[in-house]
Amino acid sequence: MAEDPTNLQGRAGLPDDLLFLLRKYPRQEWQAHENVHGMASFWLQRHAMFRDLGGLLTTAIGDYREGQTTAPEFANFFAPRLQFFLGQLDGHHNVEDQHYFPVFARVEARLKRGFDILDGDHHTIHDALEANAESANGFLNALQESQDKQRFAADAYADQNTRLVAMLARHLDDEEDLIIPLILDRGDRELGIG
């Protein structure tokens, strides 16, 4: 059975017919292209920041679960970073949906379906962010309680976070595959984003 491209947790990438520009501009050539300076670089940097922060949060949970940090140490480190991560991600998606995706879809109508898929991803991720914030709160509250309760909440939260980080990684890769080749092909000025 063909994989469902709208299923962020099940797909291995965007459908082939949306990747014609990626075939023209393969990932390993992006950094050497003259049009990478400007919006493309900015985009890649934002995504790198989300990947780094996601990794940092995952590592912090792992360290706590292995007993390398105490509950208060963990909470002090984790809570503000999680809040920053969730807020930045939400803002980033809003700008993409409301500003950039409509512009890109107008310029290259053949990629319209791709931007619809990415827009759908944002909703999926948004729901996961809300679930994440809820179980994070449950977890942080449980740090005041018994060891058993802490462990249970830590497990629930770690699962939730692993799921979110995996979805986000898939989305960031796919979004770059669609957007960066388009920017390299047309340049910021032609796209009206420079």
Question: Which chain residues interact with Fe ion by CB under 5 A?
Answer: 96, 175
Q: Which is nearer to Fe ion, 33 or 126 (CB)?
A: 126
Q: In sequence order, which residues have a C-beta less than 8 Å from that of residue 64 and are 6 or more positions away?
A: 71, 74, 78, 154
Backbone φ and ψ of 94, nearest 5°: -60, -45
The number of beta carbons lying within 10 Å of the beta carbon of residue 21 is: 21
Q: Cβ closer to Fe ion: 15 or 62?
A: 15
CA–CA dist 83, 89 (Å, integer): 10
Residue 92 near residue 124, CB atoms below 8 Å: no
Per DSSP, which regions of 45-185 are E strands? none
61 or 172: whose CB is closer to Fe ion?
172
Residue 49 Cβ, how far from Fe ion at the closest point, in Å?
11
> Would the CA dihedral through 65, 46, 117, 119 be positive or negative?
positive
Q: Least distance to Fe ion from the beta carbon of 46, Å?
A: 6
Tokens coding 85: 């991560």
Number of other residues whose CB lies within 10 A of the CB of residue 106: 12
Beta carbon of residue 77, minimum distance to Fe ion (angstroms, whole number): 26
| Smallest separation, CB 157 to Fe ion (Å) | 24
**Among candidates 94, 76, 88, 78, which has minimal Cα distance to 51?**
88
* Nearer CB in complex with Fe ion: 28/45: 45
In the complex with Fe ion, the residue whose CB is nearer, 175 or 177, is 175
Shortest approach of Fe ion to residue 51 CB, angstroms?
11
* Cβ closest to Fe ion, residue 50 vs residue 74: 50
In the complex, the smallest distance separating the C-beta of residue 25 from Fe ion, rounded to whole angstroms, is: 18
Helix or strand holding residue 35 (H, E):
none
